[in-house]
Amino acid sequence: MIVACAVGVVAPAAALASSSGAIFWTALGGHVACGVAIHPVNSPPMRLLCSSRVVPAPPAGGVGDPGFVFLGSSGHPKPARLSQDSFVGTTPVALGAGTTWSIGPIDVKCRITASAVRCTNGSHHGFTLTKTSYTPF
């Protein structure tokens, strides 16, 4: 006779973390949308693009809507105004707290918590987005 027994195990938070390589995603209940920025055909993706109404317009002004920021594998984040959809994907995937995002040749990682999205590149620059703030570093 075989007897099966289920035992409840509590895993530490780190063990529950997940990763994603989605090309277009949202977080913080839709307050932040991020993904691969459009790029030339037959070339690898080069930049992460995020949008949130808390991202300020770039200081140089320009045409288009504010609320966008680009982050490449190196250098500082670059706020932008955009007048068209500039994400590769069209249907976002909702990412929850505990998820880390990264994709292919873009040396950027985003960590999603219950209250923030923090994206960092290989040069240790990036930004933190919450529902009410944008903090570049």
- Note down pLDDT in tens along the chain; length 137 residues: 444 444 444 444 445 679 999 999 999 999 999 999 999 999 999 999 999 999 999 998 889 999 999 999 999 999 999 988 899 999 999 999 999 999 989 999 999 999 999 999 999 999 999 999 999 99
Q: Write down the pLDDT at residue 60.
A: 87
**Residue 60: C-alpha distances to residues 14, 56, 85 (Å):** 41, 11, 21
Q: Write down the pLDDT at residue 18.
A: 96
Q: Write down the pLDDT at residue 121.
A: 98
Q: Write down the pLDDT at residue 51.
A: 98
